[in-house]
Chain A
Amino acid sequence: MGNIIEVKNLSRKFGDFTAVNDISFDVKEGEVFAFLGPNGAGKSTTIKMLTTLLQPTGGSISLNGHNPKNDPSAVRSSFGIVFQDPSLDDELTAWENMEFHGVLYGVEKKLRRKRIDELLKFVELDDRKDSLVKEFSGGMKRRLEIARGLLHHPKVIFLDEPTLGLDPQTRNHMWTYLQELNKSEGVTVFFTTHYMEEASRIAQRIAIIDHGKIIATGTSAELQTQTQTASLEDAFLKLTGSEIRDEEAGAGDRMRMMGKMFSGGGRR
């Protein structure tokens, strides 16, 4: 099987800060791929570049044979994404958020309605489908986002820390569904997580990124052999060190940082 994602010498700088530094990796079609790294290692920046939200400052990307730079529309119709931060419309109901997504992705009406019903049942929100999203708890919002990301049955699904704040039941439930989708429809799954046990159990292949560089790639077993450790968690700690990282800047901070960049560094 071919590579559905090919990344070559990809870089992204924010002013003087290099968030992603000359990384290269491939993801095979139909693979479940985990992208791991400590806070601020460059995971989210890489995902943003893969999903056309951010332009790279160097290197190239091919996703499903398309280049995000030349043909963003073709790339966008190839993937689905569950973001790390919420991206729902709080003023719309759960059902409306799904419907909106389905229409934007051109899912035909009958199929759309059927899938919305199925997915809302699957994430156990069908009894709340007409409630405004702003009345939902954090976990409920998360589940709705996952359901929404799956609505258009993409070729690749990106999940940026999808299980953050979910209870073990929902987490387990979600991975079972994703693995089924992976088997039945060959959907490639690309995810990030801080739960090493989850990555070890779910991912067929793992890449570890730190300080903007990919420092190891392989199966969980390969990484353990390479580092002579007994678990992925230990392998991860050995590769990335055990010092605690600064939390990644919140969305607001990042925005401000970028705002400064765009206006040439001097904003009052």
Chain B
Amino acid sequence: MRTIYIMWLRELKRYLRSRSRIIGSLGQPLLFLLALGYGLGSVFQKAGQGNYINFLAPGIVGMSIIFTAIFSGIGVIWDRQFGFLKETMVAPVSRFNIMIGRTLGGATIATIQGTLVFLLALIPGFRPYNWALVLPTILVMLLVGLLFTALGTGIASQLQDMQGFQLIVNFLVMPLFFLSGSLFPLTGLPKVLSAITKIDPLSYGIDAFRILLTHSGHYSLSLDISVLAVVTLVFLALGSYLFSKIQI
């Protein structure tokens, strides 16, 4: 327990100390929200899909969560490069707990980022249909954050340096984000694209946000939560296995 707590605390402290990173990482979601929200708003409206900002905001919340979560999972590589990983690896505590603590830390940070983006989205006029459902939304954010931090940690355990970083961004994070239905509705898609969105776990996270915040979604909330929970467990198991096998 103390291991999980101290690892979690470390992630949080590091996050809270880098104010410029917090503000910097809000720039991208804000840009997406404003440029796409206003840029495509009228087209979206004319196509009979309603208010695009309302549709887009949950997707952008999902975007900030997946970016923050995967990058904080990838932090394992930084720790390896700066040597701190060794310090945790020689400690007489289970590596499973180290991994869980880190992952919870990353998920907490992702949730904070997601909540900040949600608040930012209020500026261009996004409103949840029921404020009481914001709290459950935050819980789902935590679940999505856990899922992707675990994925990031698992991947980082296999990498030796930052050279693979660009690869991960371009071939994993970007596709996961763009193919998740964060920017477009999941109805009426070409077959291949539709199939891909179905295997993208982020689709279910963003769908859950939409159901909770705007009362409109593609799947059902119970399906979304079930898929997220199962995938999270699988990634946690896989991530902690790979993490426990790290050699330095």
Give A contacts to B, CB under 8 Å.
48, 51-55, 73-74, 76-77, 79, 81, 83, 85-92, 96, 100-101, 103-106, 132, 251-252, 255-256, 258-259, 262
Contacts and interface: CB of A to CB of B under 8 A. Distances in A.
Query: Interface majority SS on B: helix, strand, loop or mixed?
Result: helix
Given A73-B92, A256-B161, A106 B87 contact: no
25 contacts: A51-B90, A52-B89, A53-B86, A53-B89, A53-B90, A53-B247, A73-B92, A76-B92, A85-B86, A88-B83, A88-B87, A89-B82, A89-B84, A91-B18, A92-B10, A92-B13, A92-B14, A100-B10, A103-B2, A104-B6, A104-B93, A105-B91, A106-B92, A251-B83, A256-B160
Nearest to A154: B92
A85 B85 CA distance: 12
A96 B2 contact: no
Nearest to B79: A89
B177 to A, nearest CB: 25
Contacts of A77: 92
B2 A87 contact: no
B198 interface: no
Interface in B1-41: 2-3, 5-6, 10, 13-14, 17-18
A254 to B, nearest CB: 9
Interface size class of B (residues with CB under 8 A): 20 to 34
Contacts of B158: 262
Among B3, B87, B93, residue most surrounded by chain A Cβ atoms (within 10 Å): B87
Interface string B210-248: 000000000000000000000000000000000000011
B86 to A, nearest CB: 5
A54 B90 CA distance: 11
Contacts of A81: 90
Given A92-B14, A100-B6, A259 B160 contact: yes
B49 interface: no
B42 interface: no
A267 B219 CA distance: 41
Contact of B83 (A85, A96, A101, A104): A85
Given A73-B94, A104-B88, 12 more contacts: A54-B248, A74-B92, A85-B83, A86-B82, A87-B85, A92-B10, A103-B5, A104-B6, A256-B161, A258-B160, A258-B247, A259-B160
Given A87-B87, A259-B159, A105 B92 contact: yes
Interface in B114-140: none
B186 to A, nearest CB: 36
A251 B81 contact: yes
A100 B6 CA distance: 7
Interface of B: 2-3, 5-6, 10, 13-14, 17-18, 80-94, 158-161, 247-248
A104 B86 contact: no
Nearest to A85: B83
Nearest to B77: A255
Contacts of B86: 53, 83, 85, 87
A54 B248 CA distance: 6
B161 A48 contact: no
The 8 A-B residue pairs with the shortest CB-CB distance in the complex, in nearest-first order: A77-B92, A259-B160, A87-B83, A76-B92, A104-B91, A255-B160, A103-B6, A53-B248
B33 to A, nearest CB: 30
A54 to B, nearest CB: 5
Contacts of A92: 10, 13-14
A87 B92 contact: no
Contacts of A76: 90-93
Contacts of A52: 89-90
A262 B90 CA distance: 22
Contacts of B247: 53-55, 258
B84 to A, nearest CB: 5
A258 B85 CA distance: 16
A106 B2 contact: yes
Contacts of B17: 91, 132
Nearest to A90: B82
Nearest to A257: B160
A87 B84 contact: yes
A119 to B, nearest CB: 16
